[in-house]
Amino acid sequence: MLKAARTYVALVDGFNRGLGRIIMYGVLVMAGILLWSSISKTFFNPSLWTLEVAQFAMVTYYVLGGPYSIQMGSNVRMDLFYAEWSHKKKAWFDAFTVLLLIFYLGILLYGAVGSTAYSLGYFGMEPFVFFKDLILAFVTGGPSRASELIGYIERSPTAWRPYLWPIKFVMILGFFLMLLQCVSELIKDIARLQGEEI
């Protein structure tokens, strides 16, 4: 196997393993938020922010924990036939299904980029061009120049009304990291087909 492929797998797996180990404590964050929600509803005035922050924490936990879940093979799988197959047959099947997953994640990533651009006030049809222009404006002119490109910023229609672009950016990051992890899994499957282990 090429040294570049081994380096890629080591870097992506190492980063996603570290991030996944940190993100798994997000369950405690969600439990704390929901505990405070119960306490505030019982003894004080109910907090407006708890439900949405718990939802945002759950999305962050799920999306940023996805690459680690893919890496550990802890995703749901029908083992009725798969468990009895040879290692080579499993590698063929895994390589095929990871290609389907890469396609699906590519569509999700494209949708997340468009949705995030929309939440920043861009209503055109080329969200990648918008982000390229936004980054270029920020690098060359600073925050004031970048803010000229941003339109009406989308907010949640609830009483608390938080901005939605931060959680949408988390979704972009999570889908991108899952794509990187899927490519890593594909490289490992190809190596297994060649009789190697990475």
Q: Is 75 helix (H, G, I), strand (E, B) or coil?
A: coil
The pLDDT assigned to 75 comes to: 72
Closest CA to 167 of 65, 57, 29, 69: 57
Cα distance between the two ends of the chain: 9
pTM: 0.90
Q: What mean pLDDT do residues 123-138 have?
A: 94
pLDDT digits (tens, 9 = 90+) for 146-193: 899 998 899 999 888 999 999 999 999 999 999 999 999 999 999 999
**pLDDT at residue 90 above 80?**
yes
pLDDT, one tens digit per residue, over 64-89 is 999 999 999 887 667 778 878 888 89
Average pLDDT, the chain: 92
Q: Where are the alpha helices (DSSP H) in the chain?
A: 3-23, 26-43, 50-72, 79-82, 87-119, 127-147, 165-193
The CB density around residue 191, as the number of other CB atoms within 10 Å, is: 18
Report the percent of the chain where pLDDT is more than 90: 72
- Binned at pLDDT 50, 70 and 90, residue 1 comes out as low
What confidence score (pLDDT) does residue 134 get?
94
Every domain of the chain and the residues it spans: 3-193
